[in-house]
Structure 1
Amino acid sequence: MGIRRRITWLVRKLIPQGKVAERTIKSGIWVSALNVGDRGLQLIMMIVLARVLTPADFGLMGIALLTLGAMRQFSELGLEAALIQQSQENVDSYLDTTWSLEIGRGLTMATICFFGAPYIASFFGEPRALELLQAIALAPLLYGLRNPAIIYFKKGLEFHKQFAYRMSGSMTNASIAIAYALIFQSVWALVLGYIAKEAMQMIVSYLMLDYRPRPRFDVPSATELIGYGKWITASSFLYFLYNKGDDAIVGRLLDASALGFYQMAYEFSNAPATEVTSIISSVMFPAFSQVQDDPERLRVAYYRTLQVTSFVAFPMAFGIAVVAPSFIEAFLGDAWLPMVTVMQILAAYGLFRSIGVTFSPVWKAIGRPDYITKLSFLRVVLMAIFIYPATMTFGVEGTALLIVGISIFPQIPIDIHLTVKSIESTYTRMLRELSYPLTASTLMATAVLLVETRLSVPWIMVEFFVLVGVGVIAYIVAAVLIWTLFDWQIQRNIRTIVKTVRG
């Protein structure tokens, strides 16, 4: 069998179909492939551009993306979540209204970004950001023009289509940004790549679907969607404040270079968390929604999700923390070494994000999205109180320590309490599931640090790959030892995934 035929056979085998469990597993594989490909392209792009552009350039683009992110989160209507949560499979009757709302939202964002650019640039004390902000104002309009029927990719667990849709934009972004940067060595590479990505995804959304929306607005449909999505809207607003508010404070109190260091450290340290987060939020919410009325099935599904998530997230976070110095020196260059400490701190935040994101799909599925909003509000209040003194006293490291500290207490304890209550479980069961990967990752990190102290090679890149190899082997050995001695059921989940893929 030729390579092309093998790929075709594998793709057909992985098309989500059958029962909910099988479709969920196959959808998870597609989302994983999407996130690996998407994040891989993004990290490659950032590594290449880090050698060409300066930290200040990344900081300027960070200001533009921060502005877009603020407007996108503040105007979030929760329409996607409302459509996914609908019990009926066919939601065509809502799509025209959804499209009209999204176009209006995109046009409003574009207008505010373009005409507000002088004031935003002045707020951050970076006049160089003015033209970038005005150019990137086109992106939200393109985003709003997407075919609303792409909701079926998630609602129907058809993530093989979501893969094609999203990767078209990622490949366009990376190719244009890298090519432009290598030729012109300008921050405009980041802007043009981002706009091209939104344009490509908008075009592909119509090529992949037969549904053609019309500019029609139905008041009852809009009221119903927004009525469910009001908690999503509020939590989205608060999510931006605690997830991007630190960026805004760093950019305002320090400078563009400090923001560049902070955002780059966040991107690399939280890459695994971002991918795990995307998988969980994309796949598990619709999957949990389909078993929301069966507490036993919901509990079993949740713990399987937590086991797989923690099995991946713990070693990645520990590994990033221990190899950060070698990685930065090998791939980004000496100019980026000041971000080593903040990257190590933010690796812990990435771990808490990965575990924390398993909670919210359960709450949304059982009809309690208000939990997300209320916890987000608590986090924002704590950040507002402590972020200024932390940043002014300790710089970007202080900012990173603050957001990690809030995750440790009170965020994670409250999350665990609400989730245990929601799935009718126990704290002992929850903590036991987390203790297994924590122990294995601690053993892995210890092995890597021991090797690092005794390793002497002339090339830093060789050192990096040796340390990664040691970490992978050490974690596998530790995991096998733990599931042999204790009742860690991760191996059953792995076997189930393999069996499902094989058919």
Structure 2
Amino acid sequence: MGYLKDTIRGVSWMGGFRIVSRIVAFAKTAILARLLIPAQFGLFGIASLMLEFLEVLTETGINIVLVQEKKNIDDYIDTAWIVSIFRGLIISLIIVLATPLIVSFFNSSEAAPLLYLMATVPLIRGFINPAQVKFQKNLEFNKEFWFRFAIFSLDTATAVLLAALTRSPAALIWGLIVGAIAEVALSFIFVKPRPKFVFEREKLGEVISRGKWMTGAGIFSYFFQHGDDIVVGRLLGQAPLGLYQVAYRVSTLPITEVSDVVGKVTFPIYVGMSEEKVRLKKAFFKTLLAVSALVIPFGVLLFVFAREVTLLVLGEKWLGAVAALKVLAIFGSLKAIVNSCYPLLLGLGKQRQVMLITLAGISGLGASVIPLSLKYGIVGAGVSTVIGLLFAAPVAFYFVLRALR
């Protein structure tokens, strides 16, 4: 029953953080929705799409590898830090150099200043102490609670205050910048060991070898999560993109937060139980049942009361998002259930299977998102995400059942 106690303790702390952070995030979204218009959210969406794409394109999978590593990870921290700094610098340079192309692709010259400002975020994040992964590895979720809460609070307060003063979408990026600076500072003050400028090629080779499938999975995951955003922004424009992204956030965050919390906690526990298939199987199916019991009723409520939720959280100028919100409530529930498979597969070192599941999802999304978006607008884009999940789900459960034999 050790895993159950660890899971309950971890879920309590991480669940507490997620509940608090989501309440704050909903308040942040509600306030910003009244200070900014959908087109401004769309401009921020364009900048964030570029940052997220480059982050996953250059993902080394090192955090996953460090959690999977059963030996002391201190020897890997220096190399991981140098790689992180170099990665942040590369991402920043690419954003700056690619800005004219991005502006042309989305036909949005107003996005250029935001993209240049966004380029500072990965540069700062590169200096974060990678030893913070020990919070998750050692199941110290109480420490991670306060660590993440401080960062999130500074990000939110900065974004809301600056948006109130400037009525500019740049406020959202300044929130990210302040949050990144805070994370660097706190990771050096409260997390040990502190990294040094020491590079070991052997350590890098080992990490890259084990994390390569996570890089592929990350790229596929990006297109699975944001392929619809890219199509909406390119074909329909920045105002529909703003409507769609906010609808996505409102509809999926409360639901997928459940699976995200459980996944963050169960991943290191599954690693510890990887040699005990009977216990592992029992733990997984209990977790899957609990996640399903929580997310399905919430998804149904969100579907039924989509208009009321939109008026309450966002206001009248966002009513154009109601139909998409209903479809995305279905997507969020399905996503939470399918995502429950990933911690188990990662805990067993099956990064390749995670990549293949995501590839199946992209196939469904990619085949449907353009025609559906052209015909039905942002509602069609939402339907394509559901189709993508229906492609991914059978593949995910096939790999899970095979892994638990």
- The TM-score with structure 1 as length reference comes to 0.78
Determine the structure 1 residue equivalent to 2:379: 397
Determine the structure 1 residue equivalent to 2:224: 242
CA distance in 2: counterparts of 1:143 and 1:162, whole angstroms = 17
1:76 aligns with 2:59: yes
Determine the structure 2 residue equivalent to 1:349: 331
Choose the corresponding residue for 2:164, options 182, 191, 195: 182
1:219 aligns with 2:201: yes
Give, in angstroms, the shift of residue 309 of structure 1: 1.0
Give, in angstroms, the shift of residue 284 of structure 1: 1.0
CA distance in 2: counterparts of 1:414 and 1:369, whole angstroms = 14
Q: Deviations over 1:359-405 (max 9, x none)?
A: 11111222222111112222223332322111111111111111102
Determine the structure 1 residue equivalent to 2:356: 374
Give, in angstroms, the shift of residue 115 of structure 1: 2.5
CA distance in 2: counterparts of 1:281 and 1:63, whole angstroms = 28
Determine the structure 2 residue equivalent to 1:489: none
How do residues 262-411 of structure 1 correspond to structure 2 at under 5 angstroms?
Answer: 262-408=244-390, 410-411=391-392
How do residues 395-474 of structure 1 correspond to structure 2 at under 5 angstroms?
Answer: 395-408=377-390, 410-424=391-405
How do residues 140-179 of structure 1 correspond to structure 2 at under 5 angstroms?
Answer: 140-179=122-161
Matched residue count: 405
Give, in angstroms, the shift of residue 108 of structure 1: 0.5
CA distance in 2: counterparts of 1:76 and 1:276, whole angstroms = 25
Determine the structure 2 residue equivalent to 1:494: none
CA distance in 1: counterparts of 2:242 and 2:157, whole angstroms = 22
The 4+ residue runs of structure 1 with deviation greater than 4 A are none
1:51 aligns with 2:34: yes
Give, in angstroms, the shift of residue 25 of structure 1: 1.6
**What is the DSSP-based 3-state SS (H/G/I as helix, E as strand, rest coil) of the residue aligned with 2:275?**
coil
Q: Deviations over 1:420-453 (max 9, x none)?
A: 22223xxxxxxxxxxxxxxxxxxxxxxxxxxxxx
Question: Which amino acid is 1:75 matched to?
Answer: T
Contact 1:114/1:135 (<8 A) preserved: no
Give, in angstroms, the shift of residue 332 of structure 1: 1.5
CA distance in 2: counterparts of 1:218 and 1:256, whole angstroms = 45
Determine the structure 1 residue equivalent to 2:80: 98
Q: Deviations over 1:435-487 (max 9, x none)?
A: xxxxxxxxxxxxxxxxxxxxxxxxxxxxxxxxxxxxxxxxxxxxxxxxxxxxx
Question: Which amino acid is 2:220 matched to?
Answer: L
**What is the DSSP-based 3-state SS (H/G/I as helix, E as strand, rest coil) of the residue aligned with 2:70?**
coil
Determine the structure 1 residue equivalent to 2:49: 66
Determine the structure 2 residue equivalent to 1:107: 89
Give, in angstroms, the shift of residue 273 of structure 1: 3.1
**What is the DSSP-based 3-state SS (H/G/I as helix, E as strand, rest coil) of the residue aligned with 1:114?**
helix
**What is the DSSP-based 3-state SS (H/G/I as helix, E as strand, rest coil) of the residue aligned with 1:236?**
helix
Contact 1:84/1:151 (<8 A) preserved: yes
Contact 1:99/1:145 (<8 A) preserved: yes
Of stretches 233-242 and 266-275 in structure 1, the one that deviates more from structure 2 is 266-275
Question: Which amino acid is 2:84 matched to?
Answer: E
Choose the corresponding residue for 2:186, options 197, 204, 207: 204
Give, in angstroms, the shift of residue 24 of structure 1: 2.4
CA distance in 2: counterparts of 1:57 and 1:285, whole angstroms = 37
Contact 1:31/1:163 (<8 A) preserved: yes
Determine the structure 2 residue equivalent to 1:229: 211
Determine the structure 1 residue equivalent to 2:237: 255
Give, in angstroms, the shift of residue 19 of structure 1: 4.1
Q: Deviations over 1:249-307 (max 9, x none)?
A: 11011111000010000000001233123213311111100000011110111122112
CA RMSD of aligned residues (A): 1.4
Determine the structure 1 residue equivalent to 2:7: 24
CA distance in 2: counterparts of 1:383 and 1:357, whole angstroms = 17
Of stretches 208-217 and 414-423 in structure 1, the one that deviates more from structure 2 is 414-423
CA distance in 1: counterparts of 2:365 and 2:339, whole angstroms = 19
Question: Which amino acid is 1:23 matched to?
Answer: D
CA distance in 2: counterparts of 1:381 and 1:416, whole angstroms = 17
Contact 1:177/1:190 (<8 A) preserved: yes
Contact 1:265/1:343 (<8 A) preserved: yes
Q: Deviations over 1:10-46 (max 9, x none)?
A: xxxxxxxx94432222111111111112222222111
- The TM-score with structure 2 as length reference comes to 0.97
Give, in angstroms, the shift of residue 236 of structure 1: 0.3
**What is the DSSP-based 3-state SS (H/G/I as helix, E as strand, rest coil) of the residue aligned with 2:199?**
coil
Give, in angstroms, the shift of residue 317 of structure 1: 1.0
CA distance in 2: counterparts of 1:328 and 1:383, whole angstroms = 26
Determine the structure 2 residue equivalent to 1:86: 69
How do residues 124-139 of structure 1 correspond to structure 2 at under 5 angstroms?
Answer: 124-139=106-121
CA distance in 2: counterparts of 1:109 and 1:417, whole angstroms = 36
Question: Which amino acid is 1:25 matched to?
Answer: I
Structure showing greater relative contact order (alpha-carbon pairs closer than 8 Å, 6 or more residues apart) = 2
**What is the DSSP-based 3-state SS (H/G/I as helix, E as strand, rest coil) of the residue aligned with 2:273?**
coil
Contact 1:102/1:145 (<8 A) preserved: yes
Question: Which amino acid is 1:220 matched to?
Answer: E
Contact 2:232/2:373 (<8 A) preserved: yes
Question: Which amino acid is 1:289 matched to?
Answer: V
Give, in angstroms, the shift of residue 148 of structure 1: 1.2
Contact 2:310/2:322 (<8 A) preserved: yes
Highest Rg: 1 or 2? 1
